[in-house]
């Protein structure tokens, strides 16, 4: 065991946890094993709790500013972890989170009726941000090949060339598939966007969750032209399991766009951080890399154990390759349940996964399964499926 015990059960029911306490509302049943929404069942790093305690003892909860330590913490993290030196002046912020900032940028970069290229499947909140802003998604479906997804560059180019296309909105790694884009893929994609003057918005909120053998490459780090042409969103939310505290960092290379963005945030009165979000961000980036490393190893082992279990006991399930994130993307079509799959999993098995249909058409037989939980709980969920199939 490392410094933290990730097998220790932590009762989350009754704590107003969205993942645990909202299952009745979303799945119609209170006693399901919740492996859906993207938060981890693990308590955050003790250093973060100690920093909170120190502030609680001080007692004053007034407005905050971002000090030099806060900015340095972000820059040091990306420099030491990912080899990316973010110019300090490129940093901007979104205290309400990544999706808020994506919406502000869509508003700044488009007119109603414009098109936004997105790879599918993709995170539903990103797709909603586009469609509910009166914009059209130009879909560039990923191609599944041998349990892994590939970008479809042939399909991408005509979408980018369409004069109505103003933005490419992507996620690196992609949620739900966990596909992390390689340097070569990003360079090719970036060149196409530059050639067609399409601005890139890349949601890299899961970027710190790369599995062994995979490397996260920040798109703006590839060239000064791409840095000018990209807005990158990131956060401590997924990396350190701080979703309830919000806060996000936005890296905007284009000075004029950055100024417009900061102006909009000022107008919405959303420029100051939540006090605890700010304390957590600085502490996490400065002191908690070891915590992330332990969680990464644990989740990787969960994935390995699950693959072994599925191979032996649930041959109707197909696990896709997982480059990054803490999700398994699993095709359940081998069970032959068709439309009845969701009901079967919830009502007969008592497990709650995120249905693939939420991430775009063509994913109805898939489930996104959150593996950031105790291994024993994960195995219990799949044992329930096995038992229900035997009935």
Q: Show Cβ contacts of residue 213 under 8 Å, excluding neighbours closer than 6 positions.
A: none
Nearer to ligand PLP, 171 or 192 (CB): 171
Main-chain phi, psi angles of 317, to 5 degrees: -100, 140
Nearest distance, CB of residue 154 and ligand PLP, angstroms: 25
Q: What is the DSSP letter of 41?
A: S
Residues 21 and 12: their CA atoms lie apart, in Å, by 8
**Which residues inside 208-237 make contact with ligand PLP, applying CB under 6 A?**
235, 237
Nearest distance, CB of residue 98 and ligand PLP, angstroms: 4
- Whose CA is closest to 119, among 181, 69, 73? 181
Nearest distance, CB of residue 250 and ligand PLP, angstroms: 11
Nearest distance, CB of residue 180 and ligand PLP, angstroms: 13
Q: Which of 92, 127, 198, 248 binds ligand PLP (CB under 6 A)?
A: 248
Question: Any idea which residue has 């905050």 for tokens?
Answer: 64
Nearest distance, CB of residue 125 and ligand PLP, angstroms: 6
Q: Which of 151, 171, 295, 328 binds ligand PLP (CB under 6 A)?
A: 171
What is the per-residue DSSP string for 311-335? HHH-TT-EEPP-SBSSEEEEE-GGG
Q: Which of 203, 208, 323, 331 binds ligand PLP (CB under 6 A)?
A: 203
Q: Which stretch binds ligand PLP (CB under 6 A): 15-23, 94-102, 134-142, 380-388?
A: 94-102
Q: Does 205 bind ligand PLP (CB under 6 A)?
A: yes
Nearer to ligand PLP, 178 or 350 (CB): 178
Size of interface with ligand PLP, in residues (CB under 6 A)? 13
| Contact present, 324 and 180 (Cβ < 8 Å) | yes
For helices 183-195 and 153-161, angle between their N-to-C axes, nearest 10 degrees = 20
Q: How far is CA 380 from the centre of its chain?
A: 25
Q: Does 355 bind ligand PLP (CB under 6 A)?
A: no
Q: Which of 33, 99, 242, 310 binds ligand PLP (CB under 6 A)?
A: 99
Nearer to ligand PLP, 165 or 177 (CB): 177
Sign of torsion over alpha carbons 76, 79, 82, 88: positive
Q: Does 241 bind ligand PLP (CB under 6 A)?
A: no
> What tokens were used for 383?
């044992």
SS3 content of the chain, % helix, strand, coil (to 5): 45, 15, 35
Q: Does 366 bind ligand PLP (CB under 6 A)?
A: no
Main-chain phi, psi angles of 121, to 5 degrees: -65, 155
Q: Which stretch binds ligand PLP (CB under 6 A): 40-48, 92-100, 129-137, 293-301?
A: 92-100
Binding residues for ligand PLP, rule: CB under 6 A, are: 38, 97-99, 123, 171, 175, 203, 205, 235, 237, 243, 248
């Amino acid at each position: 065991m490392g410094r933290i015990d990730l097998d220790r059960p932590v009762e989350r029911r009754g704590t107003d946890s969205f993942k645990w306490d909202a299952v009745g509302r979303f799945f119609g049943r209170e006693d399901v094993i919740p492996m859906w929404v993207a938060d981890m069942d693990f308590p955050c790093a003790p250093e973060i709790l100690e920093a909170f305690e120190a502030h609680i003892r001080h007692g004053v909860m007034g407005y905050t500013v971002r000090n030099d330590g806060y900015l340095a913490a972000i820059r040091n993290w990306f420099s030491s972890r990912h080899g990316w030196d973010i110019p300090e002046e490129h940093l901007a912020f979104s205290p309400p989170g990544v999706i808020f900032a994506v919406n502000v940028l869509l508003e700044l970069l488009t007119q109603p009726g414009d098109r936004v290229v997105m790879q599918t499947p993709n995170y539903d909140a990103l797709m909603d941000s586009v469609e509910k802003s009166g914009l059209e998604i130009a879909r560039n479906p990923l191609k599944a090949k041998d349990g892994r997804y590939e970008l479809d560059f042939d399909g991408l180019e005509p979408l980018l060339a369409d004069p109505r296309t103003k933005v490419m909105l992507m996620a690196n790694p992609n949620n739900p598939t966990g596909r992390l884009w390689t340097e070569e893929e990003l360079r090719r994609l970036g060149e196409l966007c530059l050639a067609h003057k399409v601005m890139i918005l890349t949601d890299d909120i899961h970027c710190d969750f790369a599995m062994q053998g995979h490397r996260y490459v920040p798109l703006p780090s590839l060239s000064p032209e791409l840095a000018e042409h990209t807005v990158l969103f990131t956060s401590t939310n997924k990396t350190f399991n701080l979703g309830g505290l919000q806060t996000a960092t936005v890296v905007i290379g284009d000075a004029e766009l950055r100024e417009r963005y900061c102006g909009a945030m000022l107008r919405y009165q959303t420029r100051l951080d939540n006090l605890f979000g700010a304390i957590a961000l600085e502490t996490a980036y400065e002191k908690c890399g070891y915590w992330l490393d332990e969680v990464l190893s644990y989740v990787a082992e969960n994935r390995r154990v699950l693959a072994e279990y599925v191979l032996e006991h649930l041959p109707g399930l197909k696990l896709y390759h997982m480059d990054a994130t803490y999700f398994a993307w699993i095709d359940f079509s081998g069970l032959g349940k068709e439309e009845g799959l969701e009901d079967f999993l919830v009502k007969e098995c008592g497990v709650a996964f995120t249905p693939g249909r939420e991430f775009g058409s063509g994913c109805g037989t898939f489930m996104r399964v959150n593996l950031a939980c105790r291994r024993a709980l994960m195995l219990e969920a799949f044992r329930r499926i096995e038992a229900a199939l035997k009935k």
